Amino acid sequence: MTTAALTSRSAPRLPLWSKLLYTAFVAVLVPHYWQAYGPTNFLYFCDIALLLTCVAMWRESAVLASACAVGILLPQCLWMVDFLGTSVGLPITGMTGYMFQDAIPLFARFLSFFHFWLPLVLIWLVLRLGYDQRGLWVWWALGWGAMLVSYLFLPLPPAPTSNPGLPVNVNYVFGINDKAPQTWMQPHLFFGLMLTALPLMIWVPTHHVLKRFVVPARHVAWRWQRGMR
């Protein structure tokens, strides 16, 4: 094997600056969120993806990056659209209205803006590393696990007035908003519906789109091993 081949095999596929910049942001966000909202905040899908993406970048793991993309690309793209719409007075869902509330500290809103750029980072990662179909099953296990913990151990909405920042209704296991639990079916039936609906309506469709339009991870790895960039 030639020296050039050995060099290409060991060459990183992601630039160091991207790993350092992302890690610096996570290092700022985690202690702030932990203090402001508590550790259960990190059971939200978006926060799981934020942390897992950091691991994916340092390990240059296509399967971890693919898992995060499967889990949050679609809902976070909706967040992006709603944010842009709200910024011009045309909200789509209202989910990003808090980003424009002066009562919320600007620094907190700056941190929460990761919802906007994280899907862009994930698209870049899967294009760079390739799409690994195992990501669907990794996210499926993580997602169901987070939902089960949220349903069994975390509080129903609304948050108590004594602790308004307490995460409630994490991952919408009790309803579609944080003001009150849904009342149109039994809680366990709604939870079962969510366990079924999220894979069928979000995770699996996203998986098929990525599978269709992104080069498989094994092909990308092969090209890098042969020095093709």
Residue 204's alpha-carbon distances to 49, 71, 99, 151, in angstroms, are 17, 9, 30, 22
Closest CA to 108 of 22, 29, 24, 26: 29
In the structure encoding, which two tokens stand for residue 119, read together? Answer: 């899907």
Confidence (pLDDT) at 220: 77
What does pLDDT average to over the chain?
92
Q: Is the dihedral of CA 126, 130, 131, 137 positive or negative?
A: negative
For the segment 159-210, what is each residue's pLDDT rounded down to a tens digit?
Answer: 988 888 899 999 999 999 888 999 999 999 999 999 999 999 999 999 999 9
For the segment 52-83, what is each residue's pLDDT rounded down to a tens digit?
Answer: 999 999 999 999 999 999 999 999 999 999 99
Instruction: Please indicate, yes or no, whether the overall pTM of this predicted structure exceeds 0.85.
Output: yes
**Number of C-beta neighbours around residue 201 at 10 A:** 11
